[in-house]
């Protein structure tokens, strides 16, 4: 079963359970998937859906920071709840040590030396670790690997 099919099944389950918060978040995710499919005239793969979930989580985190700075804790709590629903659709994330080890292997493989090669390294790292690790952690690991 594809990830998109699993999300659709979860939506049906949330409908039956009358879980309105979960249902709203899942519908939002499905709408984002459909919008991307229509805009780009493609059928989303599981990797595309994971990237979309990552993007939605990042948006929620940014919103939480904005709401908390504005003193709107109830809205920040709603966004945090949505993040928890969305995290279910992400694969198991790599630990920081695993990310650093993988980045060091990639740096050695392509022969990158110094911070000037960060773009070249990030290009390879993004394709290999997409969906497996948070890109903020990956970026910090690349900087550390190139500094040493």
Cα distances (angstroms) measured from residue 6 to each of 30, 62, 88: 11, 27, 11
| C-alpha torsion 43→45→133→135, nearest 10 | -20
**Does 143 have pLDDT greater than 90?**
no
Tell me the average pLDDT of the chain.
90
Helix axes 96-110, 135-147, angle to 10 degrees: 50
At residue 100, the pLDDT reads 85
**Does 111 have pLDDT greater than 90?**
no
Taken in order of first residue, the domains within the chain and their CATH numbers are: 3-87 (1.10.1510.10), 96-147 (1.10.10.410)
- The per-residue pLDDT for range 51-100, each reduced to its tens digit, is 899 899 999 999 999 999 999 999 999 999 999 999 999 888 888 888 88
At residue 32, the pLDDT reads 96
pTM of the model: 0.78
Q: How many CA atoms lie within 13 A of 87 on its CB side?
A: 12
- The per-residue pLDDT for range 2-59, each reduced to its tens digit, is 899 999 999 999 999 999 999 999 999 999 999 999 999 999 998 889 889 989 999 9
At residue 70, the pLDDT reads 94
């Amino acid at each position: 079963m594809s990830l998109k099919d699993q999300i659709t099944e979860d939506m049906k389950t949330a409908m039956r359970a009358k879980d309105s918060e979960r249902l709203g978040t899942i519908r939002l995710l499905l709408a984002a998937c459909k919008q991307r499919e229509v805009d780009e005239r493609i059928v989303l793969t599981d990797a595309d859906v994971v990237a979309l979930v990552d993007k939605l989580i990042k948006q929620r985190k940014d919103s939480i920071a904005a709401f908390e700075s504005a003193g709107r804790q109830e809205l920040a709590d709603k966004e945090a709840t949505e993040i928890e629903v969305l995290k279910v659709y992400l694969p198991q994330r790599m630990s920081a040590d695993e990310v650093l080890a993988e980045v060091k292997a990639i740096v050695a493989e392509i022969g990158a030396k110094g911070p000037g090669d960060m773009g070249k390294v990030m290009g390879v790292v993004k394709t290999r670790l997409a969906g497996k690790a948070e890109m903020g952690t990956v970026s910090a690991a690349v900087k550390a690997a190139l500094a040493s």
